[in-house]
Amino acid sequence: MSRSRLLSAIGALALAATATLQAAAQGRGNATPRDPMQEGLPLRPTRTATWTTRVGHWMSVDITPDGQTLVFDLLGDIYTMPSSGGKATALTRGMAFDGQPRFSPDGKKVVFVSDRDGGWNLWTIAVDKSDTNQITRGKNNTYYSPDYTPDGKYIVATRDTKLWMYHVDGGSGQQLIRTEGQTGGRGGAAGAADVARQMGVAFGKDPRWVWFAERRGQWIYNTAMSDYDLRVYDRESGEVATRENRWGSAFRPTLSPDGRWLVYGTRHINETRLRIRDLESSDERWLVYPVQRDDQESRATLDTYPGMTFTPDSKFLITT
């Protein structure tokens, strides 16, 4: 595969998009009919601001299985856009913060994180906007980086600090990895506090393996690096194994549909860079740098790096 072909897609999202954004100011609710800009929030917006842009930052992006449509988030709203470029169309909008969208395997729905009911939860929306479903409930949890299992029946996401799996119809869900008092499987005495934080879930060609990034603790000010490792969870055996450990950390694993390529983020001195690995030969090299600054030195409230995606033919990577 040609490096130039992969690199040609980098930044295409930011260059091609022309999105009209609307942001609502907060106001007091009253007895007037509900404004669709409210979503599920109790406050009713009284003013809006409208502008046009061709660039954005920290945009998580995904592509439909047929390669025709992109979905991405920008400033708390979610947009779709032809993968060939053009005008972005709002899939969600309003006062709620919606982000980290991923298409279902059939391309008909999008899962995302939103605070539209007053707390962070997982939601799905049909691409044709015919229905919107709340997958999780509650006001005290946080959720990160949801993605569908390859069969489309379940959603895997980080709930607070651990990976959980939920049926697409909702329910209480199930924690995937239980460490039984160990420090996230990375050493430490039995009975020690479990401080492992698992984020950035991803699937490749084989649905048996769940890729993710893991660190110990929420954050470290002026970190010495090596905070995040790439790990895989075996859905058949329940075992967890480390796949990458670097001085600059390794986070946001992204796998190609054909199962050959792995791309992930890392820090090289003072730059965030992307590396690509051939999973067949284990050869690895730099793909592109510098890129969007990662958030591993903070709490990574929108994950450590924005979501990326390969095109269905596994020849191009799309990322901010």
202-238 per-position pLDDT tens digit? 999 999 999 999 998 776 777 777 889 999 999 999 9
C-alpha distance from residue 198 to each of 109, 160, 303 (Å): 25, 9, 10
For the chain, residues with pLDDT lower than 50 are 1-31, 182-188
Cis omega (within 30 of 0) on the bond before 290?
yes
Please, what are the domains in the chain?
3-12+53-318 (2.120.10.30)
Taking a C-beta distance cutoff of 8 angstroms, is the pair 203, 150 a contact?
A: yes
Query: In angstroms, what CA-CA distances link 93 with 39, 89, 142, 301?
Result: 8, 10, 20, 20
Using an 8 Å Cβ cutoff, are 112 and 41 in contact? Answer: no
Over the chain, what is the mean pLDDT?
A: 86
Cβ neighbour number for residue 37 with a 10 Å cutoff: 16
Largest CA distance in the chain: 64
pLDDT digits (tens, 9 = 90+) for 233-264: 999 999 999 999 999 999 999 999 999 999 99
Per-residue tokens: 232: 């895989």
